[in-house]
Structure formats: structure tokens, C-alpha cells
Amino acid sequence: MIISIVNHKEGTATTTSAINISIGLARQYRKVLLLEMDLQGDISSALNITNQQKSINEVLMGEALFQDVILQREGIDVVPANISLVDVELSMWELENNFYLLKKHLSVLSKNYDYIIIDCPPSLSLLTLNALCASDQIIIPFKLTVLGVNSLELMLSTVEKVQKKLNPSLKIMGVLPVIVNKRKNISKEIMDYLTKMINIRIFKNYIRANVKASEAALFGMSILEYAPNSSSAIDYKNLVKEIINS
């Protein structure tokens, strides 16, 4: 199963969720590939990947095979990206069937994995559209703020367009509340609003705010590895069980 973690709004724990869901799935004995589609290279820095020779950039351009660029971290396979993905994206606009390039390259690989998790950039770019066209499901991490609700509505309408025009089999696995501060009333009100207004699953195991989440990336580790007893690690472990059972 190919799952994109996607929200075009910045700073919604997309990368943190992609990493910890992937490693959580591997700890449940699933074979996982984590694919970075973001030129910011945040997966690479958060998992301490330095000096990589080749990345998703070369694969998309047909200059390397996935086998040449896969590395191992904490029990998962990882395909990193880097800043020159911006040039790749520009070149992709000139290619035929450019929405389906990633899908084409992944097709030879998907049988090797139980899950392929794609970390999307915070934009509705050609890279994001490639991820959505290659995916079976998406998870939308979501911060419980008023601006978050607006951007979630835009995200959902974009997904609807992709389902109509590009990938009819794409499904929304669920919306994942992240960086949740339960003490703030606004969160509860927004959660109630969402439950009433949006006919989409909201994961029961939302991710609580915890400073260990930011620290883990600084030390080049997942939260599951860096702070296994922290609330965020516990939340991601429970979320992974919810994903497996869905």
C-alpha cells in the first residue's frame, strides 16, 4: 500500500509523521520504504543522512534506479531528496505524462514492500501531484487551529479534483490531528466542528504536543528511537496500530 502524508500548509508535522509512522510500521514487522518528495531534505536531516550521492532526483529523471539510492535507517528503507529537486520539478513540466512519473518508477518496487510512505512538500506542486497519483491512500496531518481548518478545506477540495481527474482510486485514510495541546479550548471546539462538518475519518490516536518531537530530529533519530516513552512516541505507536487495522 502506498500512502502519502500530505498537507500543503507548512509546519503541520508532515515529515515528523512520515518518519514515525514508517518506523512504527517497521517495528510491527512490516517492510517499509520511506520516500522523500520534498526538496527541503528534512527527512535526510532528521534521519542523519549526509553526503548521499544519489536521491529521488535522479530516479525521477531516469538517471538512476531506486536500488541505487535506497539507504537503511532504523529498520526501514529510505529514499532521500535534496534541494536540486527544484530543477527536477522544472524539467518534469516538459515531460509527457508528467503527473505519473513517480507512479511509473514505483511500479517495479511496490511489490517489495508492505507500505511505501511518501513525505510530501508543503505545496500543491507537481511533486505533490505525482505523490497523489502514485498513492492508494493519503493521511492529512492537521493542526487544530482556525487557519488549519481553512487549509484542510482547501486540501480536501484538491484531493477531490485529483480523484476526479487524475487518480480515481485515491482514498483518504484519515485526518490526523497533530501537535495537540489538550488544555487549549480552541482545540476541543475545532475537533467538535470537524467531527460534525467533515465526513472523513479523524484518527482516534491523535499526536500530542511534546518537545521531544523537535529534539529527536536534531539528534537525527525518530521519536520512537529517541524518546520511546514520550507522549508523542506512544501516540505514534498507537496510531500505527490503528493504520494497520484500517
Residue 17 engages Mg ion in binding (rule: CB under 5 A): no
Contact 31, 146 (CB under 8 A): no
Q: Which of 7, 14, 20, 22 binds Mg ion (CB under 5 A)?
A: 14
170 binds, among Mg ion, ligand ATP, none (CB under 5 to 8 A by kind): none
Residue 128 engages Mg ion in binding (rule: CB under 5 A): no
Distance of CA 133 to the CA centre of its chain: 14
What gap in Å lies between CA 126 and CA 120, rounded to an integer? Answer: 11
What gap in Å lies between CA 168 and CA 75, rounded to an integer? Answer: 33
What gap in Å lies between CA 246 and CA 240, rounded to an integer? Answer: 10
C-alpha cell read off for 219: 539528534
Closest listed residue to residue 119, CA positions, set 209, 167, 177, 47: 47
Residue 82 engages Mg ion in binding (rule: CB under 5 A): no
Sign for the pseudo-dihedral over CA of 150, 176, 180, 211: negative
What is the smallest separation between the CB atom of 38 and Mg ion, expressed in angstroms?
A: 5
Site string for ligand ATP, 116-155 (x = CB under 6 A): ------x---------------------------------
Query: Buried b vs exposed e over 205-229: b needs ≥16 C-beta within 10 Å?
Result: bbbbbbeebeebbeebbbbbbbbee
What is the smallest separation between the CB atom of 8 and Mg ion, expressed in angstroms?
A: 11
Residue 232 engages ligand ATP in binding (rule: CB under 6 A): yes
Residue 14 engages ligand ATP in binding (rule: CB under 6 A): yes
Q: What is the DSSP string of 64-108?
A: S-HHHH-EEETTEEEE---TTHHHHHHHHTTSTTGGGHHHHHHHT
Q: Under rule CB under 6 A, which residues in 63-122 are in contact with ligand ATP?
A: 122
Applying CB under 6 A, the site for ligand ATP has a residue count of 20
Residue 175 engages ligand ATP in binding (rule: CB under 6 A): no
Region of 35-43, 144-152, 179-187, 224-232 interacting with Mg ion (CB under 5 A): 35-43
Distance of CA 53 to the CA centre of its chain: 23
What is the smallest separation between the CB atom of 35 and Mg ion, expressed in angstroms?
A: 13
Question: Would you say 2 or 223 has its CB closer to ligand ATP?
Answer: 223
Region of 94-102, 152-160, 188-196, 203-211 interacting with ligand ATP (CB under 6 A): 203-211
Q: Which residues bind Mg ion (CB under 5 A)?
A: 14-15, 42
Sites of contact with ligand ATP (CB under 6 A): 10-16, 38, 40, 42, 122, 178-179, 207, 209-210, 213-214, 217, 232
